[in-house]
Amino acid sequence: MSRRLDIEPNSIAGRLMPATRIADELLRATFTQGGFPKALSREASLVVVYGVRPDDAAILNLAAQDLIGGTEDDAWSVEARVRDWTDLDAQRPDYVQRLLNEASVATRTVIVLCRRRADVPTVVEAVADAVLPLADRKGTVEAFVEEIGKFLPDTALVARLSALPLTYLNLVLRPGASRERMWTVAGRLRRTVKSNGDRKPSPQDDKRTKKAGATRPTRSTNERHPERLEDMPGMGEAQRWGLSLAADLARYRDGSLPWSDVENGAVLHGPPGTGKTLFARALAGSCGVPLFSHSFASWQAKGHLGDLLKALRAAFDEARKAAPCVLFIDELDSVGNREEPLGDHASYQRQVVNGLLESLDGTVGRGGVVVVAATNHIAAIDRAVLRPGRLGRIVEITLPDVAGRVAILRHHLRGDLADVDLQSLADEIGEASGAVLAQLVREARAAARQDTRSLLEADLWTALPKGTELSEASFRRACVHEAGHLVVGLELAAVSGLVPTGASVRRRVRNGKENKTDFRVDEGFDSTRESLEATLMVFMAGLAAEEVVLGSRGALSGGSADADLVRATKLARSAQRSLGLGERLSSMPKDGVAALDDLDLSRRVEDMLTRCLTEAKLIVERRRPDVERVAARLVEAQEFALGVDVASPLSSSAAP
């Protein structure tokens, strides 16, 4: 036999049918192979098992009772706590909070059975002692066929049997059944599963459901989320604003603050993966109110314009009935901008924007409904939507700094590696979103589980994205490039209003944004033609330093949307076309269409950029010793901080 089914002497699984025996073995393998055999003990712990089919939840529940609770023959028999979350729509609204309360006082193992890993709420994953995939059943099924059928099954038969619900195996794995009999019966049962168990609701089913007056709630609609802003590190100003709103909403609920004094609308914007959706859930959690989650994409999927507007209004109506609450709208940029030249689509866009504005501040009102929207492109939002009283608060959620990354890693480590300094790791990974950091910890834990040991610091380092190791020539060019930005930036700080604060480079590039020079912008700076041209010189300074010091130009200044040459081109074009700082006095709005007679705009922009590049190269030539010293420091330490490094070669030659 390829594998023995080791049944414990005191196990009820040894006296029951195949389904129970296989379920017993699956759970035992899940806990031992997953690196958490403690789940088999009667000590307090919370274990989540995902990959459980809804049809198998009941039999696995019984197996858990056997494994952990003990049998009637046991001198010490207790009731194991198993929670079936394979059908989330059947759960009570507070099912997560109920589990957390139960786990906080439990004196024995609590097991949660989930269908998918994505169904495990963040807060449950954070406090769980283990989150394990259900062990593969093929080996166990093969061993049972071998034991009861007295023959070695082939791969095809094992796969067909493993696809069935566990309870169906009682009908197939019977003494004396041949391979052909098992194959035939399993095939018939498989067709039964497909036609019944996995059948999608038909239109007739929907009609019968509506006729019966039943409704099928969606999980995202009215759930009190356990995540809280207080427990979310690395959110910066967004966290402070959210906690302030939570305090005001509490005052509104107890009647001490009128709704007119509550800031009832905000737009979250920032790069993908920074946690905008998670922030909305945590905001609802801190406020202690339901969250209604929607997106413009889901509304647009309803059908034509009338269907979209109907879905939009229905979402606001639903939220008003449950007020106070948070209404979250994802992908807000999909609503469009009425100022965009869309031609035949302009009427459609205008009606969509007007529909949103009506819902935000229409005659019905929305007392008690805090509307929070999210976007990756704040510039694409219609300005009327961002008016105070609608979604007037603009909250930027940025990528976390080093301290924020350390805090996020600590959050996901859940107390593991408490004595390890994570500063170097957080610095090495560079700019990374909370989602990337969470994935890093998950991969590290997976490696530790695979080796059936505790998590080590080395697992985190191994899980770092590999990236690309720069050659010596490429790394040297990156250092010279950033040194040019820093030196020219210091030279022109008093004119441009951009004050450099430091530069950093990395030998291993993971996300393309590791090599950079940081600037502080002087707010309210007097913007003139001279200051604009000085800014252009700072943008072009990296390219200038490459040409002066290395004698050639690399590809570091172009390509991406935020690359030096792209930013410089946009600024020069705006100067020539809109700001009145170019060769002509004629001006067009920044977002307006191009003037028909402005045929030589490209030439004027090119001339302006060429002139500023020439000026930047003159500064680099004059201060070449400084540029090379900064570049050498970057090669050695990969960091150069101004105002901190008192031995800086630029400390005596700052901007005039």
- Phi and psi based region of residue 212 (left: phi greater than 0; alpha: psi -120 to 50; beta: remaining): alpha
Query: Among 229, 162, 271, which residue's Cα sits nearest to residue 560?
Result: 271
HEC-encoded secondary structure of 482-545: HHHHHHHHHHHHHHHCEEEEEEECCCEECCCCCCEEEEEECCCCCCCHHHHHHHHHHHHHHHHH
Identity of the amino acid at 333: D
C-beta separation of 99 from 124 below 8 A:
yes
The whole-number pLDDT of residue 213 equals 35
pLDDT at 630: 95
Mean pLDDT confidence for 448-461: 92
Give the chain's count of helices (H) and strands (E): 23, 14
Q: Tens digits of per-residue pLDDT, 289-334? A: 899 989 887 887 777 888 888 889 899 999 988 889 999 998 888 8
Query: What is the mean predicted confidence (pLDDT) over 121-128?
Result: 84
Q: What percent of the chain has pLDDT over 90?
A: 25
pLDDT, position 221: 38
pLDDT for the residue numbered 280: 87
Helix axes 138-149, 179-192, angle to 10 degrees: 140
- Select from 212, 228, 198, 273 the least CA-distant residue to 97: 228
**Per CATH, which fold does 229-396 belong to?**
Rossmann fold (3.40.50)
Backbone dihedral region for residue 452 (phi beyond 0: left; psi -120 to 50: alpha; all else: beta): left
The model's pLDDT over 73-120, given as tens digits with 9 standing for 90+, comes to 433 334 557 888 888 877 877 788 888 878 877 777 889 999 888 888
Band of residue 226 on the pLDDT scale cut at 50, 70, 90: low
The one-letter amino acid at 111: I
DSSP 332: G
Rounded-to-integer distance, Cα 288 and Cα 286, Å: 5
Specify the amino acid at residue 466.
Answer: K
Predicted local confidence at residue 529, as pLDDT: 92
Predicted confidence at residue 78, as pLDDT, reads: 40
315, 302 Cβ separation under 8 angstroms? no
Range from 182-196, 410-424, 581-595 that averages highest in pLDDT = 410-424
pLDDT reading at 644 higher than 70: no
Residue range 510-556, pLDDT digits in tens: 776 778 898 988 878 888 999 999 999 999 999 999 999 999 988 87
514 catalytic? Reply is no
Instruction: Pick the range with the lowest mean pLDDT from 187-201, 295-309, 394-408.
Output: 187-201
The residue with tokens 């994205």 is 465
CA angle 570, 575, 577 (to 5 degrees): 90
- The CATH-assigned architecture of domain 472-641 is Up-down Bundle (1.20)
* Residue 187 banded pLDDT, cuts 50, 70, 90: confident
- Domain 12-135 fold is Rossmann fold (3.40.50)
Residue span(s) of the chain under CATH 1.10.8.60 come to: 402-465
Q: Where, residue-wise, is CATH 3.40.50.300 in the chain?
A: 229-396
Q: Give me the mean pLDDT over the 349-375 stretch.
A: 84
- Which of 545-575 are b and which e, b meaning 16 or more Cβ less than 10 Å from the residue's Cβ? bbbbbeeeebebbeeeeebbbebbbebbbbb
Say yes or no to pLDDT of 616 above 90.
yes
- Kindly tell me the burial class for residue 156, based on how many C-beta atoms sit within 10 Å of its own C-beta (0-12, 13-18, 19 or more): exposed
Tokens of 233: 């590190």
Give whole-number Cα distances, 93 to 82, 225, 228, 365, 368, in Å. Answer: 18, 9, 17, 27, 20
For 152, residues 6+ apart whose C-beta sits below 8 A from its C-beta are: 2, 146
Average pLDDT, integer, range 585-611? 74
Q: Is the pLDDT score of 479 beyond 90?
A: yes
- Token pair in block for residue 246: 């939570």
- What phi and psi values does residue 54 have, to the nearest 5 degrees? -55, -35
- Per-range mean pLDDT, top range of 148-162, 212-226, 449-463, 641-655: 449-463
| E-strand stretches of 334-412 | 369-375, 393-396
Give the pLDDT of residue 195: 52
Residues in the chain: 656
* CATH code linked to domain 402-465: 1.10.8.60
Catalytic residue (one of 142, 227, 331, 482): 482
Predicted pLDDT at 546: 95
CA of 437: how far to CAs of 26, 200, 321, 440, 465, in Å?
31, 37, 38, 5, 10
Q: Which residue do the tokens 């229409």 mark?
A: 362
Instruction: Say yes or no to pLDDT of 460 above 90.
Output: yes
Strands 109-114 and 81-85: parallel
- What residues does 509 pair with on adjacent strands? 468
pLDDT greater than 70 at residue 344 = no
408 near 400, Cβ under 8 Å?
yes
Mean pLDDT throughout 440-446? 92
pLDDT bucket at 345, cuts 50 / 70 / 90: low
pLDDT in tens, 571-584: 999 998 888 888 88
**Mean pLDDT rounded to a whole number for the chain:** 81
How far apart, in whole angstroms, are the C-alpha atoms of residue 217 and residue 189? 31
* Residue 131 DSSP one-character state: E
- Is residue 488 exposed (0-12), middle (13-18) or buried (19+ Cβ within 10 Å)? buried
Residues 39 and 59: their CA atoms lie apart, in Å, by 18
* Residue 144 predicted with pLDDT over 50: yes
Residue with the bigger pLDDT between 150 and 339: it is: 150
Report in angstroms the alpha-carbon separations of 582 from 535, 570, 596, 616. 15, 13, 17, 19
Would the CA dihedral through 448, 454, 456, 458 be positive or negative? negative
pLDDT band at residue 281, thresholds of 50, 70 and 90?
confident
Say if residues 159 and 139 touch (Cβ distance below 8 Å): no
- The token pair that represents 225 in the structure block: 């989320």
Q: Are 19 and 167 in contact (CB under 8 A)?
A: yes
Residues 222 and 158: their CA atoms lie apart, in Å, by: 42
Q: If you compute the radius of gyration of the chain from its CA atoms, what whole number of angstroms results?
A: 31
Looking at residue 211, its pLDDT comes to: 39
pLDDT of 364 reads 64
Q: What is the pLDDT of residues 382-392, one digit of tens each?
A: 888 988 888 88
Higher-pLDDT residue of 350 and 294 is 294
| Residue 474 · residue 509 · CB < 8 Å | no
